[in-house]
Every structure is written in C-alpha cells, then in structure tokens.
C-alpha cells in the first residue's frame, strides 16, 4: 500500500527525518516585513528578488548534505500568499517542520518506477479529483465517492488498454489554487482573491480573505485524514474488482449509456473466465493508489521536505507526485528550482504557448539524468489548439531522446463562461481534446500515457453535455465547486469508456 498518514506507521524500510532550512537561507514568508530594529539585525538580513527582507537569525543548522533546497528563495516567484502575521508564520513553519511525513521515500520511489512503465508504453496513468479540495469536503462519503469513481474508470481503462493503470488521486493536498488576479472586486468592494483553503477562505469578507498561515496546518491534518481513508478503502475490500464491475454495470444499465454496455459485458465475461481458470481473486480485492497535487505554496512544500536516511536524498513528503502549473513553470523560477532538488516524480502543465525549446529546457532542469518516470508533461492546450500546438513539442522531445510521460489535461484549456455567470466546460470540448491528444501521438509514434481530469463522485451539474445532456439552465441545480467546474460521476465514467475505446483500437 502506498498511502499512509505517517502517524506511527512504518510504510517502508526507509526513515525520513526533518531537515531545517539551510543556514544561509531563512524560513520566512514572501510578504512585506517590518524594518530591522538593529544594525546587527540589518546585517543579518538579505533581500529577496521580489523585494522581501528575509532574516537569517535563529535558524537550526542541519547536519544533512547541502542539497540546495533553499536556493529558490533567491529566485523570481509567483502566486505566493502574503502571510499577514509573522509570529503565526514562524510557529506554523516550525510545527510543519516537525510533523510526520504524509508519504514515505519508498512509496515515492515505487510511484516513480510505476510511471517509468508508463513512459515505456507498458502502463497508463489515470489522475482525477477536485479542482480545489475543501476542508469540509474531507468526509467519508465524499472521499469514497471520488475513490469509487477512480476505481470504476481504472477498471474500464485497464480492459481497453490491456495494460496496468497507475491510479492517482488529485487529492490529499490540492488545497491551493493559482489565480489570474491578486484581488477580486464585487461592486465597490475589493478583497484578496480566494487562493484555496490552505491560504484563505472562500467567503467574500475581509476576515475570510486574510492569508492565514495557520491554514497550512489544517491542510496538513486534513490531508492526513484523507490519506487514511483512501488507504482503508483501497486495502479493505472496497476496491474488489468484481464489485467495481458491478458498479459499472449499474452505470451502463441507464438507457442514456447503452452504447457502453458492450464493453461492460466483455469485462464481465473476462472476469467469469478468470474465475473459471482459478484466478485468486483475493489479490484483486486491493489496489494501490497514489496522490498528487500542484506544488504551489512553497512555504508548505519546503516545510514538508525530508531527508531519506537510506540515500540522504530529499523527498517532498506532502505527496507522492507533484506538478508545476502553467503559471509557475518558468525554468529559472522558484518552483522549478525547488522541485528539481527533490526525488519525487514531477509533472509540468504545458499550455498552448509552450514551445519545444521550453519543453527541452524543463527536461534539462528537472530530469537531467533522463530517468523514465521522473518527468511527466501534462498538456492543457484546449480542443482548438491541441492538434496544431502539440506535434512540435512532441517531435522536439523525441529528437532529444528523452523518455517523458505524456498526459492530457482536457479540462483547463476548455473553460468558458456563460451568460448566467457560471464557469463551465462543454463535455464535447473535453472529449475532443482527448481525441486530438491520441491523434497526435498516433501520428508521431509516441505513447499517449494518461489522462488528468477534474472530477467528483457526486452528481453535480458543472460541465455541459454528456449523455445526461446537462444544459445551461441546469448548472444552477448543483454547482458546488469553489473554483473550476468538474466532471460529475456519470461524465467521468463516460470519458473512461470513450478513452478505453481509443486505447483498444490503438492496441
């Protein structure tokens, strides 16, 4: 099992200990700071490139090797909170430095190896979950719904691809979001934008929108409880392949989903054949599920970085997999610099402005040893751009001989606003980008390695279309996302069945 809250559980033979910020750097917030009170204090301060004063005093000295884990503090950085209370920030970071890891080095290594199989074309990656998790949403029902949907999608994809599916939840840490503007205006009131619940609150009030560092602690503890529930679900019989198949039969029994009945029936016959052959179904009652999130709030990620006692190498123990967003992927910027230093598998979102040169520079920085499974490119071009923009990038990477995992995010490039004010996505656009992704890789002989979707196990009405024909008038019925629209349970399964058909035809 590759999920544990790290609370007294030895998940691997490795042990990971806390490492404090290196002596030459400070664990201080990226925000305006008070002026030094003494000349000595002034001499022991350094300037951040973004204009932040960072004190060097009262730092714990680590005896661990210098991995350059704090060089990011001297680089350009975007999308960071402006923590308001210095005392709260320092005490919060001190506590995060001492908490148990959420994941362990051995688990991270196992995921990197699994992604290596994807890079070689021998496995497929499925990643799904909320756009932005909420603390209130970390309930057994909500988490089981997401896990159930991922398991259902995975079963269908495994059959279509005829290969293992690496399952990853976009959960247990997806509490922070980049924003296009620092401030939000409603009427004549302007307040800081909502940046996810580890930074500030969603309610449009001055109190809720304060950037509160203590929220990082709640994010950590909520992630721990989420991981424990996922572990229980995936190792306690909930993931039994026969039960998952019955869930899918319930989906295809709906007349609106009749076209998928043939695939579901084929899976059922395959399971009966396996049973007749004496296959041990006990082994099919459990599964491995990893978790990942966007590494956005650098203070949180740095505080949860630990040194593996086996190798003396650093691991970001906030998740198995971390990705860098489209807005923060500058090759010489802070996010890329920090994640180049940790051993986790790393993803990078690539939008339509990405060039082949950009991709190659990211490979050189994040995967200099060309290790299959280390680097995943998650393309988010939009349905209108995918066929035009993606080929040059893939060809550039192929010419370099690098083995990256190619994944499509068909969600973020297809967001629209409707007259009612809701942000939404058209199911047909999402599907068209997936189709274009497969077409490009088929033409170039590269492997379409996975799909990354924002989804939920609930019957929300946030994305238009699908077999249930959600229209603009229905958006208000159950629009629950705090940020971007998600595929509901039915739409998620429909995507899985359609991708399964692509994979089956490709095979």
Rounded to whole angstroms, the Cα distance separating 47 from 322 reads 28
Q: Lowest mean pLDDT: which of 17-31, 99-113, 366-380, 461-475?
A: 17-31
Give the SS3 label for residue 282. Answer: helix
Q: Which residues have C-beta within 8 Å of that of residue 88, sequence separation ≥ 6?
A: 212, 213, 214
**pLDDT one-digit tens code per residue, 402-439:** 999 999 999 999 999 999 999 999 999 999 999 999 99
Residue 18: pLDDT band by 50, 70, 90 thresholds?
A: low
Q: What is the pTM of this model?
A: 0.88
Per-domain residue ranges of the chain: 124-505
pLDDT(43) > 50: no
Annotated binding site for Mn(2+), which residues? 131, 412, 454, 484
Residue 189: pLDDT band by 50, 70, 90 thresholds?
A: very high
**pLDDT one-digit tens code per residue, 442-451:** 999 999 999 9
pLDDT(310) > 60: yes
Annotated binding site for phosphoenolpyruvate, which residues? 170, 326-327, 349, 380
pLDDT of residue 260: 86
Contact 84, 333 (CB under 8 A): no
Residue 336: pLDDT band by 50, 70, 90 thresholds?
A: very high
Rounded to whole angstroms, the Cα distance separating 356 from 353 reads 10
> Could you give the percent of the chain with pLDDT greater than 70?
87
Instruction: Determine the average pLDDT of the residues in 479-499.
Output: 95
**pLDDT one-digit tens code per residue, 366-375:** 999 999 999 9
More confident residue, 478 or 39: 478
**pLDDT one-digit tens code per residue, 144-169:** 999 999 999 999 999 999 999 999 99
* Fold category of 124-505 in CATH: TIM Barrel (3.20.20)
pLDDT(490) > 70: yes
pLDDT of residue 507: 65
Rounded to whole angstroms, the Cα distance separating 132 from 224 reads 17
pLDDT(19) > 70: no
pLDDT of residue 5: 39
Rounded to whole angstroms, the Cα distance separating 436 from 303 reads 40
pLDDT of residue 20: 54
Backbone dihedral region of 112: left (phi > 0), alpha (psi from -120 to 50 degrees) or beta? alpha
Give the SS3 label for residue 70. Answer: coil
pLDDT of residue 503: 92
Alpha helices in 277-384 (DSSP H): 298-303, 334-339, 356-366
The secondary structure of residue 377, as a DSSP letter, is E
Phi, psi of 349 (to 5 degrees): -80, 130
Instruction: Determine the average pLDDT of the residues in 29-36.
Output: 39
Residue 325: pLDDT band by 50, 70, 90 thresholds?
A: very high
Show the tokens assigned to 264.
């579901």
pLDDT(322) > 80: yes
pLDDT of residue 379: 99
Instruction: Determine the average pLDDT of the residues in 282-292.
Output: 88
Length of the chain equals 507
Residue found by looking up tokens 């077409």 in the block: 439
Show the tokens assigned to 325.
């967003």
Rounded to whole angstroms, the Cα distance separating 36 from 99 reads 31
Annotated binding site, which residues? 131, 170, 326-327, 349, 380, 412, 454, 484
Phi, psi of 222 (to 5 degrees): -65, -40
Show the tokens assigned to 314.
């650093």
pLDDT of residue 64: 56
């Amino acid at each position: 099992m590759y999920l544990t809250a790290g609370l007294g559980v030895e998940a691997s033979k490795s042990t990971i200990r806390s490492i404090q910020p290196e002596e030459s750097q400070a664990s201080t917030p990226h925000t305006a700071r008070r002026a030094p009170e003494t000349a000595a204090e002034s001499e022991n301060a350094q300037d951040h490139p973004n204009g932040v004063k960072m004190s060097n005093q009262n730092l714990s000295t680590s005896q661990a090797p210098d991995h350059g884990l704090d060089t990011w503090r001297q680089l350009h950085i975007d999308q960071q909170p402006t923590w308001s209370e210095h005392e709260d920030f320092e005490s919060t970071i001190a506590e995060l430095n001492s908490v148990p890891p959420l994941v362990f080095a051995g688990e991270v290594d196992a995921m990197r190896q699994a992604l290596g199989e994807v890079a070689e074309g021998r496995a497929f990656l499925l990643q799904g979950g909320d756009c932005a998790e909420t603390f209130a949403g970390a309930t057994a029902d909500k988490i089981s719904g997401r896990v159930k949907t991922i398991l259902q999608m995975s079963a269908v994809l495994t059959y279509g691809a005829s290969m293992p599916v690496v399952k990853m939840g976009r959960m247990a840490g997806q509490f922070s979001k980049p924003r296009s503007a620092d401030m939000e205006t409603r009427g004549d009131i302007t307040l800081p934008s909502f940046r996810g619940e580890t930074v500030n609150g969603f309610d449009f009030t001055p109190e809720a929108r304060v950037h509160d560092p203590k929220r990082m602690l709640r994010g950590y503890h909520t992630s721990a409880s989420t991981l424990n529930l996922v572990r229980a679900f995936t190792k306690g019989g909930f993931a039994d392949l026969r039960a998952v198949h019955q869930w899918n039969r319930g989906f295809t029994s709906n007349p609106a989903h009749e076209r998928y009945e043939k695939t579901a029936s084929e899976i059922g016959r395959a399971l009966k054949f396996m049973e007749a052959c004496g296959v041990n179904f006990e082994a099919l009652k459990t599964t491995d599920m990893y978790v990942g999130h966007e590494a956005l709030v650098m203070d949180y990620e740095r505080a949860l970085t630990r040194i593996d006692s086996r190798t003396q190498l650093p691991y970001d123990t906030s998740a198995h997999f971390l990705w860098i967003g489209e807005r923060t992927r500058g090759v010489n910027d802070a996010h890329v610099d920090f994640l180049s230093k940790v051993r986790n598998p790393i993803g990078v979102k690539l939008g339509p402005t990405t060039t082949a040169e950009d991709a190659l520079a990211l490979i050189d920085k994040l995967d200099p040893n060309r290790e299959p499974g280390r680097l995943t490119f998650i393309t988010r071009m939009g349905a209108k751009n995918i066929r035009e923009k993606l080929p040059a990038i893939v060809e550039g990477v192929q010419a370099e001989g690098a083995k990256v995992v190619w994944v499509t995010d068909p969600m973020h490039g297809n967001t629209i606003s409707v007259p009612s004010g809701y942000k939404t996505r058209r199911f047909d656009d999402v599907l068209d980008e997936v189709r274009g992704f497969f077409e490009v890789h088929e033409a170039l002989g590269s492997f379409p390695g996975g799909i990354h979707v924002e989804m939920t196990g609930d019957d929300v009405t946030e994305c238009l279309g699908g077999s249930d024909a959600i229209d603009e008038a229905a958006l208000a019925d159950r629009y629950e996302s705090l940020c971007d629209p998600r595929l509901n349970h039915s739409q998620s399964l429909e995507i899985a069945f359609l991708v399964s058909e692509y994979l089956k035809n490709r095979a």
